[in-house]
Amino acid sequence: MYLLLLCSLSVAAIAIDRFLFYRRARAGLQPFLTLLPGILREHSLEKLRELFQQERHAAGFLAEAGVSAACEGKDAELALDTSYTIAAMQLRSKLNYVSMVVTMAPLLGLLGTIFGMIDSFSIFNLQAGQPLAITGGIGEALIATATGLCVAIFALLVHTYFSQQLDKLLSDLDLAAAVVLSELKRKKGDKGHAA
Give the integer Cα–Cα distance in Å for 17 and 106: 24
pTM to 2 decimals? 0.78
Burial, 64: exposed, middle or buried (Cβ in 10 Å; 0-12, 13-18, 19+)?
buried
Give the integer Cα–Cα distance in Å for 109 and 112: 5
Give the integer Cα–Cα distance in Å for 174 and 13: 29
Say if residue 187's pLDDT is above 80: no
Say if residue 171's pLDDT is above 80: yes
Say if residue 119's pLDDT is above 90: no
Burial, 94: exposed, middle or buried (Cβ in 10 Å; 0-12, 13-18, 19+)?
middle
What total number of domains does the chain contain?
1
Give the integer Cα–Cα distance in Å for 60 and 42: 17
